[in-house]
């Protein structure tokens, strides 16, 4: 997504927060934050999480409008007075249309919203549904890239689950270091300080599910 800076600026302005004030809270320089808002620099993963939390906005909301919702279809479970058979609830008729609604999000690879992060890190959104505080993404780490610019550990709310599709990705979670290889998966509490690094010489890509990453207070 090319307009992440504009989205951040719009939310910051809506919150009536000055650029200097937000920069101070996010522990970045006002000039760097200005460059992000003007599209001249990209935030690191840690900086994006920090700013989104300070602004009280879900990370996925920063993706903004995209074509990934085109053609989305609402699925409503059929309502029926006959929801119980032999003492058990029929799952297909557990909710009527006024009680529960699901949405289907089918995205073609060319229509994925993407965030180009600092240090050769890219996020691609794999689904767009109404559920809050959930991210379903494809992560790509270029050789030598890291989830933070200054090699510092990051923390945020929720849990992360990842499956590596190709390459190798080093994950430091707390005091433990894991080398995630192709076909391996991991899950961990995101409140534990962590950092991702690609120390290899090939691209590392994986499917990632992050739940509860930016809970509103």
Across 39-61, b (16+ Cβ under 10 Å) vs e yields eeebbbbbbbbbbbbebebbbbe
| pTM assigned to the model | 0.60
> Which domains does the chain possess?
4-66+108-211 (2.60.120.10)
> Mean pLDDT for each consecutive 10-residue tract of the chain (217 residues)?
76 90 90 87 81 82 50 30 34 30 67 76 82 83 89 85 97 95 95 94 94 49
The Cα 44–Cα 50 span in angstroms is 10
Span 42-51, pLDDT tens digits? 788 778 888 8
């Amino acid at each position: 997504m090319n307009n992440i800076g504009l989205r951040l600026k719009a939310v910051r302005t809506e919150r009536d927060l000055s650029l200097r004030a937000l920069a101070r809270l996010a522990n970045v320089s006002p000039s760097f934050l200005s460059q992000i808002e003007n599209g001249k620099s990209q935030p690191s993963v840690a900086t994006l999480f920090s700013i989104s939390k300070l602004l009280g906005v879900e990370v996925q909301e920063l993706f903004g409008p995209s074509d990934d919702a085109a053609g989305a279809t609402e699925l409503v479970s059929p309502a029926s007075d006959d929801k119980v058979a032999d003492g058990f609830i029929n799952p297909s008729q557990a909710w009527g249309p006024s009680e529960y609604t699901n949405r289907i999000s089918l995205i073609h690879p060319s229509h994925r919203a993407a965030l180009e992060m600092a240090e050769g890190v890219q996020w691609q959104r794999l689904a767009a549904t109404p559920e809050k505080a959930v991210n379903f993404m494809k992560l790509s780490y270029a050789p030598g890239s890291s989830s933070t610019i200054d090699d510092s550990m990051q923390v945020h709310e929720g849990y992360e689950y990842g499956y590596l599709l190709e390459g190798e990705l080093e994950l430091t979670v707390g005091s433990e270091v894991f080398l995630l290889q192709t076909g391996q998966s991991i899950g961990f509490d995101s409140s534990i300080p962590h950092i991702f690094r690609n120390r290899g010489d090939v691209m590392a890509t994986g499917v990632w599910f992050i739940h509860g990453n930016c809970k509103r207070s």
